[in-house]
Structure 1
């Protein structure tokens, strides 16, 4: 074995150690704890924008998986018949891989459904800007996701095709709600066929705050908020029971 191979082998053994596992798990737990406080004070979108959906958090997941795989290989727990340790580390690897699949291929939403009723639609947890247009008695619809929270505002400049032309939507400003009675507002610049207009959109929480406008002879409307997604199946709620803590209106189960 030459010096380079020995050096690489030493690095791998150093990384694939229980000490590194402990450090990574402490870092992971601390990040999740901070995200919990952020989510409680500023909402789930802020926690996702600052921690859950960041590149460094994805890298942390990857390092944990590689470390755990390396620990299993170098410690040879299956040869030493430490089956409990092998199952424990293997389960963590499967959990992290499952989390990665959910992160990149999953879709989160909320289904509102009452007892004895059925539904096949969900409201996306992620916010979208939706553009509606009417061109020659035809209706068009396009949308793209946004990350606009009191803590994080990711500026965007999206170009969308509409009937052979391009419609541009550009971020200008974000005005957070002043109190619980107010709503978040977003200022955007919309351009179409050489014409532009600045539009202020109120965040849509009840399906009412759609901003109509006209560019040239084309009528448009902008919507900012969750998107309704149709599912290929129905869910029926047959029975629902709510138990509360004694002497309180807080749900217990």
Structure 2
């Protein structure tokens, strides 16, 4: 507001005010306007910094630290026509170790609850583990959790089991996908369980004995993102 406009307005409202009083009043008004501008700028800056520093939990990733695969091939009737092509599996076990970021612990994932995992081959679910309980997680701190699942020969029979064994034979490696299910502590949801979908893990076989087959994940650690 210009000095002339302010003085004209004050004269209309208060015709008895002297020029000195009008000048003093203008200083007060200018100070108030300056203070309000500072407050507004501070609030805008605080809102920006707060939104930038607050993580979007839907974008936070759980990391697969390790995945181990152990299988027992069926060595009975080795000379059968069927097993001249591949040895079917009697059983298989997956052992998974995951790292949960601290921002999720106590916010999205409860400090005490259950974890469950499914293991997939070419998007086909092979087996889902039983519920594994965990407790006494530390609020806001990264956590390591383990979960295991065992598949029977029936779970691995047919084309899927054959493809897995052919991959082992031809490439000495195999890829498994996984899904995680953890106790949900988000206030805005009532599902009870939050699920994460994980990238495929590449496993390389370090033991191909007649009695046991073992493989361990290698390369980059697969990540798991929330699945709504």
Same fold by TM-score greater than 0.5: no
Give the structure with the higher percent strand: 2
Q: Looking at both structures, which has the greater relative contact order when contacts are Cα pairs under 8 Å and sequence separation is at least 6?
A: 2
Using the size of structure 2 for normalisation, the TM-score is 0.28
Using the size of structure 1 for normalisation, the TM-score is 0.26
Give the structure with the higher percent helix: 1
Larger radius of gyration: 2
